[in-house]
């Protein structure tokens, strides 16, 4: 689902404004292949109509509206002495409201093969009944979209030399939640210069950057598997893993620089620096495993939340959204990123996740459930004792059992959900072009997941 607004100015009291080409452009830019475009007037004196764009016919329509709801007769709506709560600038427009009853305030148009399904003589009109005014229509597109990010990812990975590209292709094609590119694609719709192809390029570059950091992480963590497949380091050796990580780190920063938007470049560069700093902290903290809540938050803010936050902010910056929107999204992404990592930590204890339980314990990765279990009055002493020794299968299973038996997972879940609500509240003060429900849904689904 893609939402948006179509804004325009009318120039006459009654006017049929042909919006067909602009709607076609919306469909094309959104990459909608087959589906529906829903339109809704956001005004009580602006209608929608599908008819022929023939100038004399449009004058006939105007005459018809004038005959059926004349502008020079009396309307109770215009008797301000009898109405309550009348605004100072209330117009005399009873006739316009009545005329709006004769044309619809909403329409659904079918889309096939990436274009509106319209007959030879059909055009779509916004019908101004009380102009001139600034107007807007709400749009929603649903159906099957070209997945522009996947296409762009595939295009970028096809262009690279094989020894570099094939390990990254395996990693990218193995899946991943694509949260960061999704955030870019959504937030890129919030500014006046939304261009889906540019948004898809940025989204793909951020996903490549994320995967490049994973390649090095997996070597550092000695992880044998990622997304159910051998890691690049495990499959190809450490030397190649380092080269692949470096290559895609550089390529992603180049693609981002090529967007030509300095704000975007700076946002991503700052995030990347934060990620690298927190990776060093993360490894350093393993000496004090499982660590404490403050250290956890400090590391996670850099390791995970920095790129979430940058994805949200950079999408908005790419489309030239206002600074208040960019900053609200930056905070939203930061809080969402921390909550996402907490949910990820909980998955390590879920037998239904499809991943081996206790991988974080075995690899001594910073994990909030472990921190809370280690602090727990009942299970804490045994958890701390086990974590301070060598961790074989038996010890890992016992720690996982103790964490599950304590209220640690409940506490982490509550904390993650509270952060999501805090993230959602960051969106309340800014105009989001109808995207608020999508961003809220995305945030809530990020923590209510099993894998």
- Bridge partners of 116, per DSSP, are 111
Q: Which of 100, 253, 304, 309 binds another protein (CB under 8 A)?
A: 253
440 in contact with another protein (CB under 8 A): no
54 in contact with another protein (CB under 8 A): no
Q: Which two tokens stand for residue 30?
A: 């959104």
Spatial strand order in the sheet of 15-18: 15-18, 123-128, 46-51
Candidates 28, 14, 19; CA nearest to 53 is: 19
Specify the residue for token string 């949910």: 343
Closest approach, Cβ 339 to another protein, in A, equals 25
Binding mask 208-227 for another protein (x = CB under 8 A): --------x--xx-------
Residue 2 phi, psi (nearest 5): -120, 135
Q: Which two tokens stand for residue 378?
A: 């009942």
DSSP string, 137-183: EEEEEEEEE--HHHHHHHHHHHTS-HHHHHHHHHHHHT----HHHHH
Closest approach, Cβ 16 to another protein, in A, equals 45
Candidates 49-57, 64-72, 74-82, 236-244; binding stretch for another protein (CB under 8 A): 236-244
How many residues comprise the chain? 451
Give yes or no for a contact between 120 and 65, defined as CB atoms under 8 angstroms apart: no
Between 138 and 238, name the residue whose CB sits nearer to another protein. 238
Q: What is the DSSP letter of 352?
A: G
Between 235 and 238, name the residue whose CB sits nearer to another protein. 238
Candidates 32-40, 253-261, 350-358, 397-405; binding stretch for another protein (CB under 8 A): 253-261
Q: How far is CA 105 from the centre of its chain?
A: 29
Between 140 and 265, name the residue whose CB sits nearer to another protein. 265
Q: Which of 178, 229, 240, 331 binds another protein (CB under 8 A)?
A: 240
155 in contact with another protein (CB under 8 A): no
251 in contact with another protein (CB under 8 A): yes
242 in contact with another protein (CB under 8 A): yes
Query: For 150-189, b where at least 16 C-beta lie within 10 A, e where not — what string?
Result: bebbeebbeebeeebbbbbbbbbeeebebbbbbbbbbbbb
Question: What part of residues 255-284 is at the interface with another protein (CB under 8 A)?
Answer: 257-258, 260, 262, 265-266, 269-270, 272-273, 275-277, 279-280, 283
Closest approach, Cβ 167 to another protein, in A, equals 8
Q: Give the interface with another protein as residue ranges (CB under 8 A).
A: 160-161, 163-164, 216, 219-220, 237-247, 249-251, 253-254, 257-258, 260, 262, 265-266, 269-270, 272-273, 275-277, 279-280, 283
């Amino acid at each position: 689902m893609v939402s948006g607004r179509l804004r325009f100015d009318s120039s006459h009291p009654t006017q049929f404004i042909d919006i067909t080409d602009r709607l076609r452009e919306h469909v094309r830019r959104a990459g909608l292949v087959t589906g529906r475009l829903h339109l809704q007037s956001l005004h009580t004196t602006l209608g929608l109509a599908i008819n022929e764009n023939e100038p004399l016919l449009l004058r006939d329509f105007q005459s018809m509206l004038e005959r059926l709801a004349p502008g020079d007769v009396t309307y109770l709506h215009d008797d301000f002495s009898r109405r309550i709560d009348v605004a100072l600038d209330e117009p005399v427009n009873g006739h316009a409201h009545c005329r709006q009853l004769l044309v619809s305030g909403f329409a659904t148009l079918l889309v096939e093969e990436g274009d509106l399904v319209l007959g030879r003589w059909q055009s779509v009109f916004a019908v101004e009944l009380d102009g001139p005014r600034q107007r807007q229509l709400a749009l929603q597109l649903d159906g099957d979209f070209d997945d522009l990010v996947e296409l762009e990812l595939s295009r970028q990975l096809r262009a690279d030399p094989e020894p570099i590209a094939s390990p990254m292709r395996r990693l990218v094609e193995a899946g991943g939640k694509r949260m960061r590119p999704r955030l870019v694609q959504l937030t890129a719709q919030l500014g006046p210069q939304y261009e889906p192809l540019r948004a898809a390029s940025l989204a793909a570059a951020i996903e490549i950057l994320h995967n490049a950091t994973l390649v090095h992480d997996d070597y550092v963590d000695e992880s044998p598997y990622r997304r159910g497949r051998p890691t690049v380091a495990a499959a190809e050796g450490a030397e190649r893993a380092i080269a692949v990580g470096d290559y895609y780190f550089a390529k992603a920063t180049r693609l981002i620089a090529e967007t030509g938007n300095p704000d975007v470049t700076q946002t991503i560069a700052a995030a990347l620096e934060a990620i690298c700093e927190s990776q060093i902290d993360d490894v350093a903290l393993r000496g004090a495993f499982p660590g404490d809540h403050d250290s956890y938050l400090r590391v996670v803010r850099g390791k995970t939340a920095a790129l979430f936050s940058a994805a949200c902010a950079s999408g908005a910056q790419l489309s030239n959204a206002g600074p208040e929107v960019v900053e609200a999204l930056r905070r939203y992404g930061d809080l969402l990123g921390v909550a996402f990592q907490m949910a990820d930590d909980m998955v390590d204890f879920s037998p239904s996740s499809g991943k081996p339980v206790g991988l974080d314990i075995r690899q001594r990765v910073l994990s909030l459930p472990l921190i809370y279990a280690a602090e727990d009055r009942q299970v804490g002493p045994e958890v701390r004792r086990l974590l301070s020794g060598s961790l074989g299968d038996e010890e890992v299973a016992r720690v996982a059992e103790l964490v599950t038996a304590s209220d640690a997972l409940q506490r982490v879940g509550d904390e993650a959900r509270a952060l999501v609500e805090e993230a959602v509240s960051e969106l309340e003060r800014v105009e989001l072009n109808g995207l608020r429900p999508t961003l809220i849904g995305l945030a809530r689904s990020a923590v209510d997941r099993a894998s």
